[in-house]
Structure 1
């Protein structure tokens, strides 16, 4: 995986993965084991009858209709830890968010709907880009559709408490081996996601994300965050060069689709002034996979393989092409077999 592609991956992964990938610091304590929520008490709860799509719509709506401030912490099975401070405000269709990474070199990211500015104080640089997909916290790509229910089932586990708030606890269970399961804590009154565990096929928690402190309906205003986002004096602005395209126009196709994963976007991106890298993104409504493709360079792209960090897997592979080989970097919060399915089905086709 090249340095340039590593940079592109860190910029375009979904919000929860960004927190985990961004300058990981080694944690002293081991990550918590899978929590066992307390059994539900009392009479029947109306929320227990919700479908998987209805649960996701509830979370989606809560994140876009409430202001909140909190500290969000990500731990992975290896014991690594990262954390960030999140401010979120909304006003009608306008969503604005500030995320300060608390681990490693300082970095602040603002997002106002599709516009994203990342401040790098040590370099006095601001990276500006537009993102098509909704990547505000939590990571739900638009309003969930009914197709999600074809690949996940939902089970109400019980009740819990996170950051001082009473929560409902549900489990989203995959119907196949191509995706992880999730244990989700949502604030009881609003449905805001407060804690998420990603669970593998053996029931092991491979990654946990949770608020350690949360102010719900906090007095944070859109105008205040907008003013902070506009304070660019003393920084050099670097605009990402992104060109929307299609996989077909670029000569790529999947021989067979990977079940449940729909193409979301396809862009060419200029990275570090080098030849443009193609990013083809897929999602099943919860998990996301990005395929990064660039011309193969023997001096740079030496080793194929698969690596994991928490729930995020990365696969690198050389793709033979008579006109010149290519280098694939596939990244997603999915099991390794899912990336392998994408790699095996990826093929070149004549361009028009």
Structure 2
């Protein structure tokens, strides 16, 4: 849910989420119980609840990502929040060994097989189980509606279930399980227009309010001795300064950040990031290189779609890659509106 293709160099997560066909494919159990309760929260109230839940004092758990092909990935997560300081460690339990440590926006990833440590600054929002993108004055309620689905249990905890449905065909829907006491997201699904589950992530085991003293040793970053330390060479910039503009905005999506990084001694790539508060789209623009760039088209992995296209203008040829957890038509709207200003 809401996670990342590998091409997103500044927002890549430890695990990519894959798709599934229906709740039953994940062993989700019985449907949430519909129980009478207080008046339903609005979209804005739900988003505030989910965002604030990321600041609960501490938790430790294992979360699992399932795919429609039957593949499964899992990771162990330790999280501590003390005032304005957030510490986190995510340890991959499947695939290549990888440990990611976060101290607020500073993220350090250890890859022991390659003996590489990668450090970067990354916005914390938008990564499971913190679903929301911080910053921006998003008109989310104009593009999603909220309907409470009742209560369910996940990893032994009671959870309120909410369905966030898109009001148009430019975004997917989300079914979210929010732990009843803290609001922490304990399970989430991304849904297509027919209500089929495209992606799911959920805690299989969770300890809330884990003793901070016991969790802190797990958050201590190991020494980088013997590792090659890499720092992505990206520079904050603006689309206008890089010569790019959108002829028309895509409804609900606001520009968030823009970065430039080298891809060769003589060329650089620009990443322009947009969000509607839940879904994120990145546009990558770089000079066309026939040896590196293949066929134009659209591909999908779960809810994440990728569109590639060659753009030609009087100044030369460009290779455009649009990536996001949105329907392909949304990526086409971005790419169709992209224009080079020389």
Compute the TM-score of the two structures, normalised by the length of structure 1.
0.87
Distance 1:344 1:73, change over 3 A: same
Give 5+ residue unaligned stretches, structure 2: 19-23
**Corresponding residue for residue 40 of structure 1:** 34
**Contact kept? 1:169, 1:184, Cα under 8 Å:** yes
**Match of residue 224, structure 1, among 217, 223, 235:** 217
Aligned match of 1:246 in 230, 235, 238? 238
Runs of 4+ off more than 4 Å: 33-36, 143-146, 271-274
Instruction: Tell me what 1:98 maps to.
Output: 89
Evaluate the alpha carbon distance shift between residue 145 and residue 189 of structure 1 in structure 2; reply closer, same or farther with a 3 A threshold: farther
Q: Deviations over 1:256-301 (max 9, x none)?
A: 1110000000001235877321110000000000111111001111
Corresponding residue of 1:12? 10
- Tell me: CA distance 1:194–1:338, structure 2 relative to 1, closer, same or farther (3 Å): same
Q: Does 1:31 align with 2:22?
A: no
Match of 2:171 in 1: 179
The 5 A counterparts of 1:106-255 are 106-132=97-123, 134-135=125-126, 137-142=129-134, 147-220=139-212, 224=217, 228-229=220-221, 231-255=223-247
CA RMSD of aligned residues (A): 2.3
Distance 1:272 1:67 in 2: 43
Native 8 Å contact 2:33 2:151 kept in 1: yes
Q: Could you say what secondary structure the match of 2:241 adopts?
A: helix
Deviation of 1:129 after TM superposition, in Å, equals 1.0
Partner in structure 1 of residue 21 of structure 2 = none
Closer/same/farther in 2, CA of residues 274 and 108 from structure 1, 3 Å limit: farther
Q: Is the 8 A contact 1:114 1:134 kept in 2?
A: no
> CA offset at residue 153 of structure 1?
0.3
Q: 1:282 aligns with which of 254, 260, 274?
A: 274
Question: How far apart are the structure 1 equivalents of 2:340 and 2:30?
Answer: 47
List runs of 5+ in structure 1 lacking aligned partners.
1-5, 25-29
Conserved? CA contact 1:180–1:335, under 8 Å: yes
Q: What is the CA–CA distance in structure 2 between the aligned matches of 1:273 and 1:194, rounded to whole Å?
A: 45
Residue of 27, 52, 57 corresponding to 2:43: 52
After superposing the two structures, state which structure 1 stretch, 51-60 or 127-136, moved more. 127-136
Q: 1:242 Cα shift? A: 1.4
Instruction: Give the match for residue 297 of structure 1.
Output: 289
Query: Which stretch shows the higher mean deviation, 106-115 or 31-40?
Result: 31-40
TM-score (norm 2): 0.90
Contact 2:172 2:190 survives alignment (8 Å): yes
- 1:132–1:163: structure 2 CA closer, same or farther, 3 Å change rule? closer
Rounded Cα–Cα distance in structure 2 between residues aligned with 1:45 and 1:146: 29
